[in-house]
Amino acid sequence: MTRVALIDAGGANLGSVRYALERLGTTPRIARDASELAGAERIVLPGVGAAAPAMAALCERGFDAALRDTAVPVLGICLGMQLLYEFSDEGDTACLGAIPGRVRKMARAPGVRIPHMGWNALSDVVADPLLAGVGNGDEAYFVHSYAVPVGADTLAAAQHGERFSAVVRRGLYCGAQFHPERSSDCGARLLRNFVEWRP
């Protein structure tokens, strides 16, 4: 069984991510400081909340350096994905810098509510082990006000007014802007792919 460490940085979705992994037959170890990442073969960074306090919590517990230096795959979920980037406009926050780019506030427009909450279809899905079995039109559940523009590391996009990155990967660093733990079959597939991935 793959050894998965699930980072506890105060995110409200920690329990639901843990249960989603357990449904796949994996019992994650909850890591409350960087020393508890030792021996992990996968690291999951969930997140709900704001970028600045989340980064402060990661730094306080030594996770920032550990995540930058890790040699195992990392999956950031929602805010956790955003924290993998260099900078977030939310609170003018310097983030982990594992993936180049900047997280930006989503633009309001007629008929476009922010935060973006609800089910949305994935598009422009790239063939990648992280998305095996996931296709264009599959739906995932989103809750966010900030997003990463579509770029070279985007594996799947979604659209809410503007197009944005729904799934990203750069080397061992993976991210899902949506909540796989709340995204039914599509989310379960992504989590299983991540756990079973052999880079």
Just list the catalytic residues: 78, 179, 181
Q: Extract the tokens encoding 72.
A: 């195992």
Q: How far is CA 173 from the centre of its chain?
A: 9
For 19, residues 6+ apart whose C-beta sits below 8 A from its C-beta are: 181
Cβ-count burial of 67 within 10 angstroms (0-12 exposed, 13-18 middle, 19+ buried)? buried
CA distances from 133 to 128, 129, 130, 186, 190 (A): 10, 9, 9, 8, 9
